[in-house]
Amino acid sequence: MPLGERSGDKSDSRYCGVETEFNDDVPRLLNFNLSGGFDFLVYPLMNPAYRPSLLKDHGGMSSALPFAGSDLVLSPSQWSGHVVGKISSWIDLDSEDEILRMDSEITLKQEISWASHLSLQACLLPFPRGTSCANYARCVNQILQGSSNMQLWLRVPLEKPDDDATDGKLGNSTERTDSWELWNCFRLLCEHHSQLSIALDVKSSLPSANSLGRWFGEPVRAAIIHTNAFLTNARGYPCLSKRHQKLMTALFNHSIQIVISGQLLHTLPSRSLEPAANHCDNHIDSTEKHPLRSYLDYVAYLYQRMDPLPEQERFEPLMDNLEAQTYETFEKDTMKYIQYQRAISKALVDRVPNENVETIMTVLMVVGAGRGPLVRASLQAAEETGRKLKIYAVEKNPNAVVTLHSLVKLEGWETLVTIVSSDMRCWDAPEKADILVSELLGSFGDNELSPECLDGAQRFLKEDGISIPSSYTSFIQPITASKLYNDVKSHRDLIHFETAYVVKLHSVARLAPTQPVFTFEHPNFSASKSNERYKKLVFHVPDDTGSAIVHGFAGYFDATLYKDVHLGIEPSTATPNMFAIFFPLRTPICVQPGSSLELHFWRCCGPTKVWYEWSVTSPITSPIHNSKGRSYWVGL
């Protein structure tokens, strides 16, 4: 593995490939590149000179197709583990030349069929040659409908949206120059198929940071970095600009594989062996140093100096009944409980002056005590501040109550903690509390019924009592999230498109800054209080982003626990890769640079349930999602 071992890293980005030319001797070609440090080849499946229309028909028998040997030249594991098929780059399925169009269609199907026969894991498709891709996408979509698990990577140039097309491939300067536009058209025609992915072509110039960012919400599986994108360092070796280095780090972090392409363009120090292998030659000497090894070494250097990769995104629906593993996951968030302890300590000091610490007992109620982390944080706060504390631990989950009883005995808390096995809204407290503590906040703040539960529990809070948290606000933003969208789409029903999901946002592109949605404060003694809410939000897509697609909305929260002690997952203030909430759109919406996106969001309350509804009204109008809570709700 050329990029090096890194603890806990099992992502695809540790593998690095190399793009090669067609060669009759595949075993020798593979051996040369693997011994040179690469993990796999991006290899043309057919001789580039082949055209179906040039084949002669001999007595009804067509000439043999010009594949590089048979399937027997490599073992099945070598084909599937070390070769990505490269579809002929000359094909143009939308050409006005009828012969070229037919040749292209025939060749595409022949090569994909051969790749499937070889059990290749992926094939690289050339980028559409013109500004139209309808017929190309139609043929690819037909292939996808009948394919096994083989991925198709569409090669997409990473171009500046404002660049003029000067190579003739994208038409003149008045036509589409943003490669994302053509990719989006292609994937829409293929119905967002989950096996259609992207291989980004990385050149010497890069678009703006916002334009680059949108690709990380797309299904990018590989990045092909050309040797002409490299600079030369003081010692004569290849290196990358700071912007390219930052891009490479982001690619690694998103489990995107690197493929090096091109010829040796740097004059290496004399002790380095000169390249003597040309990928176009049939003869390759496996004892020679690989000409691209210096580029590979630099990529490996960038990879190895990174911090450990973050966890990959997890796709989980919201849950009413928490299991032991879920409690354990939440309890590992040590920073949360440190913040709670800070808030409780400040509240205890405010409630009990130093001169009264020996005479005043503070009554604290932990509502929704779970397996006891807030009970422990409260006792530690009391010890830290020297205040006397009496705790009621209220929990409705009978399984968690069993754990609480064991914990009280194990820690010797019998005289300090009273366990109450009840729903906080139904419990009749024997006395009123000075401090009410809860961790009912969900990823969207109020999505786990914190307003309703705390409204029901505040009847046993003293009029001057303290609620921790004292307030919380939900936030939302539009995102590109191809992976999440395809996961939802795979269920093929309306219900899943109208359900909110707790996820780790990893492979997403955030298209606009977050905006606040709903705010709740506790305690709330208002006579006309209602937990129903409605908000209209207008998001502005930056001018330099380029066009992008909105698959849905990411939700977060920020809570004030007490005074200046905060807790939350809103991206501008929180650690990345936190659990957030995802509200999908039934039909993704394309937004233009500099345009606005208008979202309407409702929090609705009924006698037995709470639910959200959401709808976009600009740039196009979407249906109202989850009307009357028909697909997703939280039961009261």
Please check if 556 is assigned to a binding site: no
Kindly give the residue spans of alpha helices, DSSP state H, lying in 6-159: 26-35, 76-82, 98-117, 134-146
The Cβ of residue 35 has, within 10 Å, a number of other Cβ atoms equal to 13
Question: What residue type is assigned to position 277 of the chain?
Answer: A
Does 489 appear as a known binding residue? no
- Count of residues for the chain? 636
Catalytic residue of the set 439, 498, 570, 613? 439
Per the annotation, the verdict on 570 as an active-site residue is no
Catalytic residue among 181, 313, 448, 498: 448
Q: Where are the beta strands (DSSP E) in 151-206?
A: 151-157, 196-202
Radius of gyration of the chain (CA): 30
Residues 525 and 295: their CA atoms lie apart, in Å, by 66
**Residue 498 designated active-site:** no
Report how far residue 242's alpha carbon sits from residue 217's, in angstroms, rounded to the nearest whole number: 22
- 481: Cα within 13 Å, side-chain hemisphere: 29
CA 82-88-91 angle, to 5 degrees, is 150
567 bridge partner residues: 559
Residue type for 28, please? R
Choose among 496, 503, 527: nearest CA to 582: 503
Tell me the three-class secondary structure of 573-613, residue by residue: CCCCCCEEEEEEEEEEEEECCCCEEEEEEEEEECCCEEEEE
- Whole-angstrom distance, CA of residue 620 vs CA of residue 598: 9
Q: What is the 3-state secondary structure (H, E, C) of 483-519?
A: HHHHHHHCCCCHHHHCCCEEEECCCCEECCCCEEEEE
Rounded CA-CA distance 541/592 in Å is 7
Do 551 and 584 form a contact (C-beta atoms < 8 A)? yes
Tokens of 598: 């208008």
Tell me the β-bridge partners of 285: none
Instruction: Identify the helix (H) or strand (E) that includes residue 99.
Output: helix 98-117
Token pair, residue 257, equals: 């594989």
Q: What are 123's two structure tokens?
A: 């094939």
**SS3 sequence, 250-263?**
HHHHCCCEEEEECC
The Cα 453–Cα 547 span in angstroms is 43
Write the CA distances from 457 to 5, 321, 478, 530, integer angstroms: 52, 20, 35, 16
DSSP string across 516-543: EEEEEESS---TT----EEEEEEEE--G
To the question of whether residue 424 is assigned a binding role by annotation, the answer is yes
Residue 370, token pair as written in the block? 């779970």
- Cα torsion 431, 433, 439, 440 to 10°: value is 60
- Cβ atoms 124, 83 nearer than 8 A: no
Beta-sheet pairing, 40-44 with 461-468: unpaired
Strands 257-261 and 220-226: parallel
Q: Across the strands, what pairs with 634?
A: 610
For residue 327, say whether it is annotated as part of any ligand binding site. yes
Binding-site members for S-adenosyl-L-methionine are 327, 336-337, 395, 423-424
Active site residues: 439, 448
Binding-site members are 327, 336-337, 395, 423-424
